[in-house]
Amino acid sequence: MKLKREDLRLYAVTAGEIDADALLSEVAEAIEGGARIVQLREKRLQGAALLELAKRFAALCREKGAISIINDNPQLCLDAGADGVHLGQEDMDPAHARALLGPERIIGVSAHDAAEAVRAEAAGADYLGSGAAFASGTKSDARPIDHAAYRAITSAVTIPVVAIGGVTGENMAELAGRGLAGVAVVSAIFGQGDARAAARRLRAQAEELFD
Protein backbone atom coordinates (compact mmCIF):
# COMPACT_ATOMS: atom_id res chain seq x y z
CA MET A 1 0.00 0.00 0.00
CA LYS A 2 1.29 3.43 -0.95
CA LEU A 3 1.18 5.84 1.98
CA LYS A 4 0.49 9.45 1.03
CA ARG A 5 1.70 12.36 3.09
CA GLU A 6 -1.85 13.72 3.35
CA ASP A 7 -3.02 10.44 4.90
CA LEU A 8 -1.08 11.47 8.00
CA ARG A 9 -2.77 14.85 8.61
CA LEU A 10 -4.85 13.24 11.34
CA TYR A 11 -3.70 9.90 12.73
CA ALA A 12 -5.96 8.44 15.43
CA VAL A 13 -4.55 6.09 18.08
CA THR A 14 -7.00 4.10 20.18
CA ALA A 15 -7.02 4.59 23.93
CA GLY A 16 -7.75 0.97 24.83
CA GLU A 17 -9.94 1.80 27.81
CA ILE A 18 -13.38 0.57 26.68
CA ASP A 19 -14.90 -2.67 25.44
CA ALA A 20 -14.36 -3.88 21.90
CA ASP A 21 -17.74 -2.88 20.48
CA ALA A 22 -17.52 0.61 21.93
CA LEU A 23 -13.93 0.99 20.74
CA LEU A 24 -14.81 -0.02 17.19
CA SER A 25 -17.78 2.35 17.22
CA GLU A 26 -15.44 5.20 18.12
CA VAL A 27 -12.98 4.11 15.44
CA ALA A 28 -15.76 4.31 12.87
CA GLU A 29 -16.70 7.79 14.09
CA ALA A 30 -13.07 8.94 14.00
CA ILE A 31 -12.73 7.82 10.40
CA GLU A 32 -15.99 9.47 9.43
CA GLY A 33 -14.71 12.66 11.04
CA GLY A 34 -11.52 12.71 8.99
CA ALA A 35 -8.90 10.33 10.42
CA ARG A 36 -7.38 8.58 7.41
CA ILE A 37 -5.13 6.30 9.44
CA VAL A 38 -5.92 4.58 12.75
CA GLN A 39 -3.64 2.62 15.05
CA LEU A 40 -4.97 -0.11 17.31
CA ARG A 41 -3.04 0.18 20.55
CA GLU A 42 -4.44 -2.49 22.84
CA LYS A 43 -2.50 -3.45 25.97
CA ARG A 44 -5.15 -5.43 27.86
CA LEU A 45 -6.07 -8.28 25.51
CA GLN A 46 -3.95 -11.23 24.47
CA GLY A 47 -4.21 -14.33 22.32
CA ALA A 48 -7.49 -15.13 20.56
CA ALA A 49 -9.32 -12.12 22.01
CA LEU A 50 -6.69 -9.71 20.70
CA LEU A 51 -6.63 -11.38 17.29
CA GLU A 52 -10.41 -11.20 17.00
CA LEU A 53 -10.41 -7.50 17.86
CA ALA A 54 -7.56 -6.82 15.42
CA LYS A 55 -9.41 -8.63 12.62
CA ARG A 56 -12.57 -6.63 13.27
CA PHE A 57 -10.54 -3.43 13.44
CA ALA A 58 -8.78 -4.10 10.13
CA ALA A 59 -12.05 -5.03 8.42
CA LEU A 60 -13.74 -1.87 9.71
CA CYS A 61 -10.93 0.37 8.50
CA ARG A 62 -11.01 -1.34 5.10
CA GLU A 63 -14.77 -0.86 4.86
CA LYS A 64 -14.44 2.83 5.78
CA GLY A 65 -11.50 3.47 3.44
CA ALA A 66 -8.95 4.12 6.19
CA ILE A 67 -5.50 2.66 6.83
CA SER A 68 -5.27 0.16 9.70
CA ILE A 69 -2.10 0.04 11.82
CA ILE A 70 -1.33 -2.44 14.60
CA ASN A 71 0.85 -1.28 17.47
CA ASP A 72 4.10 -3.18 18.22
CA ASN A 73 3.22 -6.55 16.69
CA PRO A 74 4.12 -7.36 13.05
CA GLN A 75 2.80 -10.92 13.30
CA LEU A 76 -0.57 -9.70 14.55
CA CYS A 77 -0.63 -7.27 11.63
CA LEU A 78 -0.23 -10.19 9.23
CA ASP A 79 -2.70 -12.45 11.01
CA ALA A 80 -5.37 -9.75 11.22
CA GLY A 81 -4.94 -8.57 7.64
CA ALA A 82 -4.08 -5.02 8.74
CA ASP A 83 -2.34 -2.50 6.49
CA GLY A 84 0.70 -1.97 8.67
CA VAL A 85 2.46 -1.86 12.01
CA HIS A 86 3.94 0.82 14.24
CA LEU A 87 7.15 -0.04 16.09
CA GLY A 88 8.75 1.59 19.10
CA GLN A 89 12.49 1.72 19.62
CA GLU A 90 12.29 -1.37 21.84
CA ASP A 91 10.21 -3.42 19.39
CA MET A 92 11.25 -5.51 16.39
CA ASP A 93 13.89 -3.94 14.16
CA PRO A 94 12.16 -2.30 11.15
CA ALA A 95 14.33 -4.25 8.71
CA HIS A 96 13.20 -7.53 10.27
CA ALA A 97 9.61 -6.35 10.22
CA ARG A 98 9.96 -5.48 6.54
CA ALA A 99 11.27 -8.96 5.80
CA LEU A 100 8.26 -10.45 7.60
CA LEU A 101 5.60 -8.11 6.20
CA GLY A 102 6.86 -7.73 2.64
CA PRO A 103 7.00 -4.56 0.53
CA GLU A 104 3.30 -3.67 0.49
CA ARG A 105 2.53 -3.19 4.17
CA ILE A 106 3.24 0.07 5.98
CA ILE A 107 5.83 0.34 8.74
CA GLY A 108 5.88 3.29 11.13
CA VAL A 109 8.59 3.81 13.71
CA SER A 110 8.84 6.01 16.79
CA ALA A 111 11.81 8.39 16.60
CA HIS A 112 12.87 10.83 19.31
CA ASP A 113 15.82 12.43 17.56
CA ALA A 114 17.40 12.77 14.13
CA ALA A 115 19.72 9.78 14.57
CA GLU A 116 16.82 7.44 15.34
CA ALA A 117 14.89 8.91 12.41
CA VAL A 118 17.72 8.28 9.94
CA ARG A 119 18.17 4.70 11.15
CA ALA A 120 14.45 4.01 10.87
CA GLU A 121 14.23 5.30 7.31
CA ALA A 122 17.30 3.30 6.29
CA ALA A 123 15.71 0.16 7.79
CA GLY A 124 12.56 0.56 5.70
CA ALA A 125 10.17 2.76 7.68
CA ASP A 126 7.42 4.50 5.70
CA TYR A 127 6.68 7.17 8.29
CA LEU A 128 7.81 8.30 11.73
CA GLY A 129 5.92 9.15 14.90
CA SER A 130 7.89 11.67 16.90
CA GLY A 131 7.32 12.99 20.38
CA ALA A 132 6.32 13.66 22.93
CA ALA A 133 5.06 16.89 21.44
CA PHE A 134 3.59 17.92 24.80
CA ALA A 135 3.15 16.34 28.22
CA SER A 136 0.98 13.28 27.64
CA GLY A 137 -1.53 11.48 29.80
CA THR A 138 -0.99 8.20 27.94
CA LYS A 139 2.80 8.11 28.45
CA SER A 140 3.69 9.88 31.66
CA ASP A 141 7.44 9.24 31.22
CA ALA A 142 7.60 10.80 27.74
CA ARG A 143 9.69 13.98 27.62
CA PRO A 144 8.52 16.73 25.25
CA ILE A 145 10.87 17.65 22.40
CA ASP A 146 11.29 21.19 21.17
CA HIS A 147 10.90 23.02 17.87
CA ALA A 148 14.56 22.60 16.92
CA ALA A 149 14.46 18.85 17.57
CA TYR A 150 11.42 18.42 15.33
CA ARG A 151 13.10 20.46 12.62
CA ALA A 152 16.21 18.29 12.89
CA ILE A 153 14.13 15.13 12.55
CA THR A 154 12.02 16.26 9.61
CA SER A 155 15.07 17.67 7.82
CA ALA A 156 17.04 14.44 8.26
CA VAL A 157 14.59 12.15 6.44
CA THR A 158 12.50 12.05 3.28
CA ILE A 159 9.59 10.09 4.80
CA PRO A 160 6.73 11.95 6.55
CA VAL A 161 6.76 12.62 10.29
CA VAL A 162 3.79 13.05 12.63
CA ALA A 163 3.91 14.61 16.07
CA ILE A 164 2.45 12.55 18.90
CA GLY A 165 2.03 13.07 22.61
CA GLY A 166 -0.49 15.36 24.27
CA VAL A 167 -1.67 16.99 21.03
CA THR A 168 -5.05 18.74 21.31
CA GLY A 169 -7.02 21.31 19.38
CA GLU A 170 -5.76 23.94 21.82
CA ASN A 171 -2.03 23.35 21.29
CA MET A 172 -1.79 21.97 17.75
CA ALA A 173 -0.93 25.36 16.24
CA GLU A 174 2.35 25.33 18.20
CA LEU A 175 3.52 22.51 15.92
CA ALA A 176 3.26 24.52 12.70
CA GLY A 177 6.48 25.29 10.84
CA ARG A 178 8.33 22.18 11.94
CA GLY A 179 8.13 20.20 8.70
CA LEU A 180 5.50 17.82 10.04
CA ALA A 181 2.94 15.99 7.91
CA GLY A 182 0.33 15.98 10.68
CA VAL A 183 -0.48 14.85 14.19
CA ALA A 184 -1.28 11.60 15.95
CA VAL A 185 -3.83 11.93 18.73
CA VAL A 186 -5.36 9.67 21.36
CA SER A 187 -7.51 11.36 23.99
CA ALA A 188 -8.30 14.36 21.77
CA ILE A 189 -10.55 11.96 19.81
CA PHE A 190 -11.23 8.87 21.92
CA GLY A 191 -13.20 9.42 25.09
CA GLN A 192 -14.50 12.80 23.95
CA GLY A 193 -18.11 11.62 23.76
CA ASP A 194 -18.40 12.44 20.05
CA ALA A 195 -15.35 11.07 18.25
CA ARG A 196 -16.74 12.10 14.86
CA ALA A 197 -17.07 15.76 15.81
CA ALA A 198 -13.72 15.78 17.59
CA ALA A 199 -11.97 14.29 14.56
CA ARG A 200 -13.70 16.72 12.22
CA ARG A 201 -12.45 19.72 14.20
CA LEU A 202 -8.91 18.35 14.45
CA ARG A 203 -8.77 17.46 10.78
CA ALA A 204 -9.82 20.96 9.78
CA GLN A 205 -7.09 22.44 11.99
CA ALA A 206 -4.48 20.03 10.65
CA GLU A 207 -5.31 20.90 7.05
CA GLU A 208 -4.62 24.56 7.84
CA LEU A 209 -1.35 23.94 9.68
CA PHE A 210 0.51 21.18 7.81
CA ASP A 211 1.51 20.46 4.23
Out of 9, 36, 68, 110, pick the active-site residue.
Answer: 110
**Is the pLDDT assigned to residue 166 strictly greater than 60?**
yes
Domain of 10 in residue numbering reads as 5-209
% of the chain residues with pLDDT over 90:
86
**Is the pLDDT assigned to residue 82 strictly greater than 60?**
yes
Mean pLDDT across the stretch 66-83?
98
Domain count, the chain: 1
The confidence score (pLDDT) of residue 2 equals 83
Give pTM, 2 decimals.
0.95
Residues 37 and 8 sit within 8 Å (Cβ to Cβ): yes
Out of 41, 62, 64, 119, pick the active-site residue.
Answer: 41
Residues with Cβ within 8 Å of residue 159, at least 6 apart in sequence: 121, 125, 126, 127, 128
**Is the pLDDT assigned to residue 62 strictly greater than 70?**
yes
Q: What is the largest CA-CA distance in the chain?
A: 44
Average pLDDT, the chain: 94
Provide, for the chain, the percentages of residues in helix, strand and coil under a 3-state DSSP scheme, each rounded to the nearest 5.
Answer: 40, 15, 40
Distance CA(85)–CA(56), nearest Å, equals 16
**Is the pLDDT assigned to residue 139 strictly greater than 60?**
no
Does the active-site annotation cover 41?
A: yes
The confidence score (pLDDT) of residue 15 equals 86
The confidence score (pLDDT) of residue 159 equals 98
Specify which residues 68 forms β-bridges with.
Answer: 38
Mean pLDDT across the stretch 148-163?
97
Distance CA(147)–CA(32), nearest Å, equals 31
Out of 5, 64, 119, 139, pick the active-site residue.
Answer: 139
108: domain CATH number is 3.20.20.70
